Amino acid sequence: MISAVDAPWALTGLAALGAGVLNAIAGGGSFLTFPALVFVGVPPLSANATSAMAVSPGYLGSTLGFQSQLRALPTALLRREMLTAALGGLLGACLLLLTPARLFAGIVPWLLLLATALFALGPRLSALGQGQGQPRLRQPGLLLVSIYGGYFNGGLGILLMALYTLAGESRLSTVNALKNLNSLVLSLLSVAAFAVAGAIAWPQALWMMAWATLGGWLGARLAQRLPVVWVRRCVISAGLAMSAVFFSRL
């Protein structure tokens, strides 16, 4: 039986495990890690930073899985995009650290609701650019999306995939490769900024990273068995429920 002392660790570990599974199958893992940290008493701003660190190992594994697609792209393009993503992630993290804690707590429900809407509309957003790309949107769009990702990670993958399809990238494997690479880069920079600023709850972060990594491994195996549409519906339901809970606490 779990004691009252162990309950917060069990909750955050379970949330990280579920987040790893979700991110491997359909995305949306931050809908579990962020609320779990807040519910066990971590302040919202620190919970956001800790959640970003907890799910970051998954980006590395995903990027390594698309090495062949990335090697096929021009080196100059990859360097330019990585630099843009790094700058955006750092700016977003700094913006978060400059946001007063009370103000951030007030906008959290809206951020969760926005991330849920982005996740729900993901397939439609990704289809908007088919056949009519706008290449000029690519770099400024990447900077804006990276700033959002550095500030609040929810829905980041959906925004990146939508951006690349809108910019005219028709190969889904390339879209996924770039999405994972730039998510990794901006995540590393934002997490580094959070660490330097002392915003990360380290015991919870390290604990959750281990469980999220295990969840990612399990999710990769489940991805071939579970209908993605079911998983997406569960993520959307969780996002709406978490938004409602945080709105009720305002």
110 φ/ψ angles, rounded to the nearest 5 degrees: -70, -40
Question: Within its chain, how far is the Cα of 47 from the centroid?
Answer: 14
Among 142, 122, 150, which residue's Cα sits nearest to residue 56? Answer: 150
State pTM to two decimals.
Answer: 0.82
Of 3-7, 62-66, 126-130, 140-144, the range with the lowest mean pLDDT is 126-130
pLDDT at residue 86 tops 80: yes
> Is residue 28 classed as helix, strand or coil in its secondary structure?
coil
> Is residue 176 classed as helix, strand or coil in its secondary structure?
helix
Among 75, 79, 62, 74, which residue's Cα sits nearest to residue 20? Answer: 62
**Residue 3 pLDDT:** 59
Say if CB 245 and CB 122 are below 8 A apart.
Answer: no
Of 37-51, 113-127, 190-204, the range with the lowest mean pLDDT is 113-127
**Residue 15 pLDDT:** 93
Cα distance from N-terminal residue to C-terminal residue, the chain: 33
Which pLDDT tens digit goes with each residue over 25-59? 767 788 889 999 999 999 999 999 999 999 888 77
What is the Cα–Cα distance from 138 to 136, expressed in whole angstroms?
Answer: 6
Say if CB 43 and CB 103 are below 8 A apart.
Answer: no
What is the Cα–Cα distance from 247 to 55, expressed in whole angstroms?
Answer: 24
Phi-psi region of 194 (alpha: psi -120 to 50; beta: other; left: phi over 0): alpha
DSSP states of 198-246: T-S-HHHHHHHHHHHHHHHHHHHHHTTTS-HHHHHHHHHHHHHHHHHHH
Of 144-148, 165-169, 192-196, the range with the lowest mean pLDDT is 165-169
**DSSP helix, strand, coil percent of the chain (3-state; round to 5):** 80, 0, 20
Say if CB 178 and CB 156 are below 8 A apart.
Answer: no
The residue written with tokens 């980041």 in the block is 156
For residue 67, give every residue at least 6 positions away whose Cβ sits within 8 Å of its Cβ, in sequence order, or none: none
What is the Cα–Cα distance from 206 to 67, expressed in whole angstroms?
Answer: 27
